[in-house]
Chain A
Amino acid sequence: MKQRLITALNAAAVFVALLAIWQIILRAFKVPPYMLPSPWAVARAATRRFPLLLNASFLTAEEAGGGLVASILAGVLIALIFAQSRWVRRMLYPYTILLQTVPIVAIAPLILMWVGAGTAAVTLIAFIISLAPIIANTTQGLISVEENLVHLFLMHNASPTQLLFKLRLPHAMPSLFVGIRIASGISVIGAITGELYAGSSRVGEGGLGYSILYASSQLQTDYLFALVLAATALGFSFFFLIMFVEWYFLHRWHESARTPEAE
């Protein structure tokens, strides 16, 4: 408990120091507020427009979260197909790499064209960007089951369904969570990038990406900063939410999910 308090105090001290350096740079170089607003200005902008900020964050969270959940469902299904045979993997795996390497910024306009501006397009972009790590990690988990464990099941003439639900899927859980953790971060990035292109059908109301674009065009740099901080906070909360879910499912049996103190 005391250890935790000290850790928290240290983190807080770093935060205060950063704010101080920020303020010093502003004074020393006489930076105009539209280039770099003061921490207080950012805080003021955030509180003044808090409902708007919150709305934008929730919208982006919905889009990123929707894309992430869809990518988990689709990714696990695709991984199950991949796990069927080496032949299927050889044939289809290059396309998942394609999924991973295609620059999201480049396909965003295309998706906008196909789906139309708005939440659906942004969710789709978040989905596409999150899919590859889920597929890759889950497939790895499904196929890396020890041979003797498979033999054990075969000795009981286990059905393919039993093999899947009692052996392969639980065995793949830790890998699946690695995939979800990676995907959770990039789903937020994907949603914000998507919003830059396909953000809103109504002026002034949209997710974080759209609002960032809007604030920068209006030179509202203080609000822009507040939005960037909100985006960071959103990524953080996604990550920690996933960490918690992972801990909940794995901590009893898997090494990766022990409490940090135990390490």
Chain B
Amino acid sequence: MIDAWSASQVEFVGVTKSYKGRIVLDATNLRVAKGEFVTMIGPSGCGKSTVLKLISGLTTPSSGTVRVGNLSPKEARPTISYIFQDATLLPWRPVRQNVGLGLELDGVSRARRMEKTSSLLQLVGLEQVASAYPRELSGGMKMRVSIARALATTPQLLLMDEPFAALDEMSRDRLNEELLRLRDEQNWTAVFVTHSVAEAVFLSTRIVVLAPNPGRIHADLSVELPFPRTAVLRETPEFEALVGQVSHSLREAIAR
């Protein structure tokens, strides 16, 4: 039996990842505790997507160790869900079957899948389009299906690689708020990657600023804004101040 606390904790010890002679991530130590929402932010080439790939075991470190709970990334996969930059839906499956894909691959029975997908579709507000095909949906709705699919397997750790980058600002803000609402109800730990400072501040309990060439941690900032966070938070001076602080750190990271 996997201990829930340790299973959703990420630990990098001296992790270096080189790819084709280039150091993508250099001797990095990182710890993500249960319940945190940690966002990796940084310019391209700083290895922020690589961090997610390492946690999920889709790539392995050149040196150092990555542990998820007390397990190796591959062993921990059943407790992890990954949300990609594009919605990565299967176009030949209606929405409900897309949401149930993970459960299906895990061998969950049809009846249980039906039950689980129904509750998730309701949670993300997509019950009416359960039998629609992905091509009939807007970008924001597709992303919602993708989120529902990731949450269907009740993950303890959610990895998100710029999931809202392709959306317009309004949909992005709405989905940010929705993501926090889901987190309230479901209690997963999150490692999130983005280019957007405002998004990072709005979502995170902690922001890790990465610097490029070679990729490394430049700053580790905690975000002390209270939960629940709603749209009005974006207009507060505290929020503005944090956005300024993170932007400043980001500029330093690029300049160095």
Contacts and interface: CB of A to CB of B under 8 A. Distances in A.
Nearest to A157: B77
Nearest to B134: A253
B81 to A, nearest CB: 7
The range of chain B's interface size is: 20 to 34
Interface string B62-82: 000000000000000110111
Contacts of A166: 90, 101, 104-105
Interface in A121-161: 146, 148-149, 151-158
Contacts of B56: 151, 155
Interface in B208-253: none
Contact of A149 (B58, B80, B88): B88
B39 to A, nearest CB: 20
B7 to A, nearest CB: 15
Contacts of B85: 148
A155 B133 contact: no
Contact of A148 (B88, B91, B133, B135): B88
Nearest to B82: A155
A155 B135 contact: no
A125 to B, nearest CB: 35
A262 to B, nearest CB: 12
A167 interface: yes
B135 A255 contact: yes
Contacts of B84: 148, 151-152
Nearest to A159: B105
A155 B90 contact: no
**Interface centre among B78, B80, B92, B106, by most A CB within 10 Å?**
B92
Given A252-B133, A253-B133, A155 B77 contact: yes
A156 B77 contact: yes
A252 to B, nearest CB: 6
A253 B132 CA distance: 9
Contacts of B106: 156
B92 A155 contact: no
A170 B90 contact: yes
A155 B102 CA distance: 9
A254 interface: yes
B105 A151 contact: no
Contacts of A152: 82, 84, 88, 101
The 9 closest A-B pairs by CB, nearest first: A156-B105, A148-B84, A253-B133, A253-B92, A170-B92, A148-B88, A253-B91, A158-B105, A155-B82
28 contacts: A146-B88, A148-B85, A148-B88, A149-B88, A149-B90, A151-B82, A151-B84, A152-B82, A152-B88, A152-B101, A155-B56, A155-B58, A155-B81, A155-B82, A156-B102, A156-B153, A157-B78, A166-B90, A166-B101, A167-B90, A173-B92, A252-B92, A252-B133, A253-B91, A253-B133, A253-B134, A254-B135, A255-B135
